[in-house]
Structure formats: C-alpha cells, structure tokens
Chains A and B, each alone.
Chain A
Amino acid sequence: MRLTRGEKYASVLNYIFLGAFALLALAPFVHVLAQSLSSHQAITSGKVSLWPVDFTLESYSRVLGEQEFLRSFQISFLRTVAGTAVNVVLTCLLAYPIAKPYIKGRSVIMFLIVFSMMFGGGMIPTFLIVKETGLLNTFWAYIIPGAISAFNVIIIRNFFQSVPAELEESAKIDGGSNLGILFRIVIPLSMPAIATITLFHAVGHWNSFFDTVLYVTDRKLFPLQVYLRELIMFNQSGIDNNSGYSANMDSTLLALESIKAAALIASTVPILIVYPFLQKYFVKGIMLGSVKG
C-alpha cells in the first residue's frame, strides 16, 4: 500500500501523539507504584514522584500478608468469573431475539429495558426484593441482583443487528436452526462486542463493593475491595471521623500512604491482566468469509 506524503506525515504525527498520550496516562500509575514501594516518611514529605524513595516492600507485606487477603481475593476471583459468565450468557440470550425484526414485542421489551436504566426503585426496595428471594448473605447476592446490565444488552443487540442478514439466511437455507445460527454465526462474528462486555462486566464485578455493604454480613464472603477499604479505613487518620480518635492511634506508626498505594496496585493489577487476553478480538477485523464456510 502506497501512502501519499501527507499521509506519511499524518501517520508519524499519529504515532507521536498517541505515544505521548499513553505516557501521560501511564504517569500517575507509575507514581502510585513508586509510592507503594516507598517509605511513609518519603511520601508524606512529597519526595516520591516516579521512582521509589527508601525502597521497601513493607506495605505489600501488610496488604498481602494476611489470611483475609487470600480469602477475599478468592471471593473476588470467583464472583468475577462466575458473575461475568452469567452476565454474558444472559445478555446474549436476551439481546439476540430482540435484534430480530420478526420477533413480536421486541420494541416494547427494548423500551422497558431503557426505561429501567433511568428509573430505579432505589436502595431499600431493591434490598427487600433481594431479601425476599433469599439471596441475603449468600454468594449469589453478588451474581443475581446484577445479572444483566441494560446498557450492555443495548450494545450487544446493536452489534447483533449489524451481522449481515444474508449470512443468516443462507445458513437457514442450509438447514441451520435458530439457536444454531446464534451460536455458530452471530456470536463468532460479534466476538469484539462480546469481548467488550466481558471486560465491562469483569471490571464491574472486580471493583464492586456496595452490594456487600447492602446484602452480605458474613465476613467470610467479603470480597477484596471491602477488605482493602477496611484496611485503609483502619489506618486512616481521624480527620473526618467522629469516633474521637481513630484506630490508627493504637497501631505502631503505619505507612498509610504507601499502604493505600499498595492496596490500589494489588487490587488493580489482577483485573488489568484481563485486557491483553481479550485484546486479540479488537486488533484486527474479522473475516466474514471465514465464518460463511
């Protein structure tokens, strides 16, 4: 492929601009990473920017060292895997029929889905439903009340709609069943979109903590985010809590700032790893021809 001179310049500029922007996006992360490896003294004196000062692994040993870390990590991992699987399967099953013009009532269903995005009953009515369904204090409270996201249904439906109708028709003529077409043609062709919502849901599950506050009191079911928030709260100085003085007064002088940083790294890195695995679905286009055969 030959590029014109203008296109070459544009291409070089594009490389440079994106590179610069990526560095700008990376910098705060490096800053947090450096903090997590620095001493409390160095951080609170403002000495740490992009490189650790007084290198130490102490905050990691505090964050990762407790039995509760492992347990809560397991819970988070399980809910992310199981929850995301449920999300993606249910989303696809709901989105496919309403992408098809021959399914009756689909626009009513779509409207109901969009409507539910804007009007909600709020915290307490939802809590009461979760209670009535017997999900309180079970692992399922993490999975079922958030089983489908309206936003993602709409997105996936849109991608399903853009699969050329001729492909499905020819498959039908070849004797494919409705579900067969969904699983053998539509889903493989929509992998970039499915990878996207997989990522959205996985990140959502991994980061969520409020459903624990509302639905779960059993500490054995607390996920990583709750563990880390409690760890930080415990070490927080008492500036904005009313309890007279904070728990921190009692511990030996803890490295709050570096613990916060280490907690962020420990909780973010596992979920960041998901992206490169899904990335192969984004980087190059899908050959329609390859599916047809």
Chain B
Amino acid sequence: MAKWKKTISLALIAVMAGLTACSSNGGGGNADPSASPSATNAGSGNEAPAELEKKSIRVVFNNGGRKFPDGMDENNNPYIDYIRENTNLDITLQLPPADGYQDALNVIMASGDLPDSIYTWDASWFESYVKQKALQPLNEALEQYGQDLLKNIPEDAWKTVTIDGNIYAIPSMNAVPGNELMYVRKDWLDHLGLQPPKTLEEYREVMRAFKEDDPDGDGQDDTYGFIMAENLARMAPFVGAFGIQKGMWTERDGQLVNASTLPEMKEALAFIAGLHKDGLIDPEWMLNKEANFSEKIASGQVGLFSAFWYDTRGPILTSKQNDPKAEWIPLEFPTGPQGKQGTTGYGYIAGYNVVPVTSKNPDAVVRMLNFMNGEGYKTLLLGFENEVWKTENGKIVTDFEKHNEHIYRQTLGESIRPYGAEEERARLDSLGVEFKLNDNIDRIAAVAIRDQYLGVPTPGMGKHQADLTKLETEYFTEIIVGKQPIEAFDEFVAEWKKKGGDTITEEVNAWYAENK
C-alpha cells in the first residue's frame, strides 16, 4: 500500500518536473540554448542574463530582525535590485517576523497560496514536508542552472538533503566549523607561576590553583577553577579529550553508535564529576544562563573556560575593560589519556531552501540562488565595493557606518551561504584582528568532531529524540554533581536503548549502509 502510494507520487513528481521543463521551453520563444538540458554554458555565471527567460517568483527568507534604512523595504533596495538585474527575474520577497518565523511558515504552508521558495533552518520541518510530499525535487533544475551551487556546496551537504535520489532542498552552509575552545587568563597563570596546561591533569592543576591559590591576589576566596552552563553547555573540550562528543553519531566497527552511550562518555563524566566534587567548578553551573555565565567571567570570578569563538568580543573583552591587567590567551585543547583532543563540530547545514510542489518555477528559484551563492555572494556578504568596503594594500577595509546601514543585505547572503568562502575570513578580520576570530576558528577546525550521520532526522528521532536528550541531560547532570554514582551511567545506557535509542540506531545504520 505504502509502496503503491510512493510510486504514484514519484510519477506525479516526474510529471511535474516534465511540466516545468516544458514551461521553460515554451515560454521564452528564442530561449533555446538555456532550455536545452545539455547546455554546457547554462548557469555558469558568464552567460548574459538577458538570454534567460524573464520570470516572476515569490521567495520567503528569514531576516533575523535586521532593519531597512528609511524609505527602503525588502522589495525596494539596491541589493534585491542587484539580484533582479543579474538574473532577469522579477523577485518578490516576503520576510515574516523573525520571532515566530517557523509558525509563520506553517501557516504559509496551510494557506494554499504558496510561494516559490521558502527558507527554513529546521531539519525536522524540512523532513516532515518531504514526507508529506509537499516539496518538489530540484535535481533537474540544479543540473541546468545550478552549476555554482553544485560547485560551492560539498557532497556531504547534498547527502543531507537527498532522499531516494531526489534533492529536495538547496542548503545554506554553516560559516564556522564549531563553537568552543579553551581560553585562560595568562596574568593569573603568571601570578601563580604556572605554564599553560595541555593534559587533563595539567588542566586540573590549573583549576585547583585558580580555585585555592588566590589567582587575583586580593586575599579572598572568590574565584572558581572552571565554569559551565545550563544543559551541560561549555564542557565540549573536556569530552573531546576522550575522543568523542556528546550525542554525536560515530563509527565503531563499521556501525554508527551514539557517543553518549560509549565508555568514553563515562570516563569523561567521571573526570568532570571529579572536578565538581573537589569544588573546582562553579557550584551553580547548572543554573547558569548566558547572562550569568558571561557575568562571572567579566567580573573576574573565573579565569578558565570553554569560550565560543566570538567570546573575545563578548565576556573576554568586558573582562579586559573591567580589569586592565586581565590578559586572555587561547589554550591548546586538553589532551586525554589516549592523546586525543576534540570539540563539538557543527553540521554543514545552516538552513534549507525548498520549493513547494505547487511552484511552476523551480528553475527560476535555482537561477536566483545560483547567482546569490556564486557570483553575487561577495556583494551580498560584504556590501557594494567602494561603498561599504574597499581594498587597501590587499586588505579589506570596512566603513562600519555604511556597513550597519546596509546590514539588511545579509539576509540575502545568509540564506544561501557557500562553504568555506574566502570572503568570510576577510570579513571577520575586518571586525578587528585583535579578536583573533579567524585564529579561533582555525583552532576549532583542527579538532572539531563532526556527527557522522548526515541524513535528515529519522522518524525515530522525531518520536524519541526530545525524550532521549532530556534523559541524557538529567542523568549526566546528576552524575556530575554526585547525586548519582558514576555506575548509574550503565543504567542510563540501558534506559536510553529501551526508550527508542535502539530504534534510532537501526535507522541511522540503514542510512549509513547506503551512504558511507
């Protein structure tokens, strides 16, 4: 029965795809070269836009709360005109409120009046609409008009959006490989005569000294060795020292297993629980939200923590403003007993551009995205050259006032970001080399541990993942604070398997068997 349904829907999709091909064929009159499936020059970027058929499309993006300058709006500004002119498309943008965006997408889908393209960051949302057969495959349009996209987006990322051989979304890439790396107060180390730590034991000693030996020299017991945040955040480098990352799928003997259930996780928890037991971690860590967390760093209560790569512009900067003596340096990632290092690596994908089945213009959507991702990306990311930025001595210099005025352009760039674009580095440096943003990112990239399951969320994940994550957080927190002994980890693994973990493991390995 299910198979029958699937056949019908595949047939329908094939018809749809055929129809779209026809429409692009018939509509343009003299558009022969672009309509030919074997056209080699199509979409390569050097083709004059006028040769492509003029079409109108409606596109939904998330603008993340960016403002437009007075007198402009999403459909009336030089950047959208720049795309329109270069693609010969009549594009209408729609930007629902950033807060509540996913809800807005759901009502758009239910409305029956669907746009040609929708951006979402939510993998479950994407998966659920693929399952509902609400999205159309883009293979053909991509082949014809998406050469830059195919070039700029890596194979592994395409895997994530391919289901039964059909590409259902054009992904936008994550700009960074991961989040966390260790930072320490060098002035505290110097004051206590310590060297930057490398191994777990050395880290432990630094934490002990920071807690007990009055690193700020004020004669008071007012410092902690380390700090973490709610939901087990900000401990990735220590887990990484055991070669894994919490919750990530990782290969063992040809099969994918969830790292949270591995013996390495138990060792990592034992290590962190030991720190907690000795009072080296802020005892209120499980309550720390972003604000309290930053506050404790900025006010000089902590001199060692797992920083986000941009914290050099956040709490670390504030700490320096508060205390001119404060000098922060990045550390080597802690090395575990087996000589391993690691931190949480991000997935490739930041978002999905999808085309509802009702759209007659998947080709036009691909043309637009191909331009935004390829030729147009630099301008959408950095702004117009010689207006927002210029090159001086081979370096990009940004006019920040103009940059902020033109900030709305980034909605367009962010929606279809290529992988590892050179411009990203230039841009981060232009924010101030003293923040070492690129350096931080490089350090993370060197040891980032990535999830080896690249598929869309499985049905089992949809059903059990939230429960399993809660179970994990609950057990791990209780083990770290000593409410449960480390042996409870085995109980956790058994319960995890029983509550749906086994189901998900099977699904994940079925995918792995096909895609490794």
**Cα–Cα, bound, A222→B95 (Å):** 12
A283 at the binding interface (Cβ < 8 Å):
no
**Cα–Cα, bound, A91→B107 (Å):** 29
The reply to whether A124 and B110 contact each other, CB–CB distance below 8 Å, is: yes
Which of chain A's residues has its CB closest to B314's CB? A237
B174 / chain A contacts, CB cutoff of 8 Å: 244
The reply to whether B97 and A222 contact each other, CB–CB distance below 8 Å, is: yes
B442 at the binding interface (Cβ < 8 Å):
no
Q: Size range of the interface on A?
A: 35 or more
A-B contact pairs, 26 of them (CB 8 A): A41-B298, A45-B299, A46-B296, A66-B67, A67-B70, A68-B67, A128-B111, A209-B100, A210-B103, A212-B97, A213-B104, A219-B95, A231-B65, A231-B67, A234-B65, A234-B66, A237-B290, A238-B308, A241-B121, A242-B121, A243-B350, A245-B176, A249-B313, A250-B407, A250-B427, A253-B313
The reply to whether A244 and B417 contact each other, CB–CB distance below 8 Å, is: yes
Spell out A's residues near B (CB within 8 Å): 40-41, 44-47, 66-68, 123-124, 127-128, 131, 209-210, 212-214, 217, 219-220, 222, 226, 229-235, 237-239, 241-247, 249-253, 257
With beta carbons under 8 angstroms apart, the residue of B96, B175, B296 that contacts A213 is B96
Interface residues of B in 415-448 (CB under 8 A from A): 417, 427-428, 431
The reply to whether A210 and B317 contact each other, CB–CB distance below 8 Å, is: no
**Cα–Cα, bound, A131→B295 (Å):** 47
Using known A-B contacts A242-B350, A244-B346, A247-B410, determine if residue A214 contacts B67 with beta carbons closer than 8 Å. Answer: no
Using known A-B contacts A124-B107, A128-B110, A214-B107, determine if residue A247 contacts B298 with beta carbons closer than 8 Å. Answer: no
B152 at the binding interface (Cβ < 8 Å):
no
**Cα–Cα, bound, A128→B314 (Å):** 44
B73 at the binding interface (Cβ < 8 Å):
yes
The reply to whether A45 and B322 contact each other, CB–CB distance below 8 Å, is: yes
Spell out B's residues near A (CB within 8 Å): 64-67, 70, 73-74, 94-101, 103-104, 106-107, 110-111, 121, 173-176, 290-291, 294-296, 298-299, 308, 310, 313-315, 317-319, 321-322, 346, 350-351, 400, 403-404, 407, 410, 414, 417, 427-428, 431
Shortest Cβ gap from B299 to chain A (Å): 5
With beta carbons under 8 angstroms apart, the residue of B99, B350, B407, B427 that contacts A209 is B99
With beta carbons under 8 angstroms apart, the residue of B64, B310, B404 that contacts A252 is B404
Using known A-B contacts A67-B70, A217-B96, determine if residue A45 contacts B295 with beta carbons closer than 8 Å. Answer: yes
**Cα–Cα, bound, A247→B65 (Å):** 9
Which of chain B's residues has its CB closest to A226's CB? B97
Which of chain A's residues has its CB closest to B113's CB? A131
Shortest Cβ gap from A8 to chain B (Å): 46
The reply to whether B295 and A44 contact each other, CB–CB distance below 8 Å, is: yes
Using known A-B contacts A233-B65, A234-B64, A237-B314, determine if residue A123 contacts B350 with beta carbons closer than 8 Å. Answer: no
**Cα–Cα, bound, A226→B298 (Å):** 31
B317 / chain A contacts, CB cutoff of 8 Å: 253
Using known A-B contacts A127-B107, A232-B65, determine if residue A249 contacts B95 with beta carbons closer than 8 Å. Answer: no
**Cα–Cα, bound, A253→B311 (Å):** 12
The interface centre, meaning the residue of B74, B98, B319 with most chain A CB atoms within 10 A of its CB, is: B98
With beta carbons under 8 angstroms apart, the residue of B98, B314, B410, B431 that contacts A233 is B98
The reply to whether A210 and B100 contact each other, CB–CB distance below 8 Å, is: yes
- Top 3 nearest A-B pairs (CB, nearest first) are A234-B65, A213-B100, A230-B65
**Cα–Cα, bound, A213→B104 (Å):** 6
With beta carbons under 8 angstroms apart, the residue of A67, A124, A209, A250 that contacts B403 is A250
A214 / chain B contacts, CB cutoff of 8 Å: 100, 103-104, 107
Using known A-B contacts A41-B322, A219-B74, A243-B121, determine if residue A124 contacts B106 with beta carbons closer than 8 Å. Answer: yes
The reply to whether B64 and A233 contact each other, CB–CB distance below 8 Å, is: yes
B70 / chain A contacts, CB cutoff of 8 Å: 67
Which of chain A's residues has its CB closest to B311's CB? A237
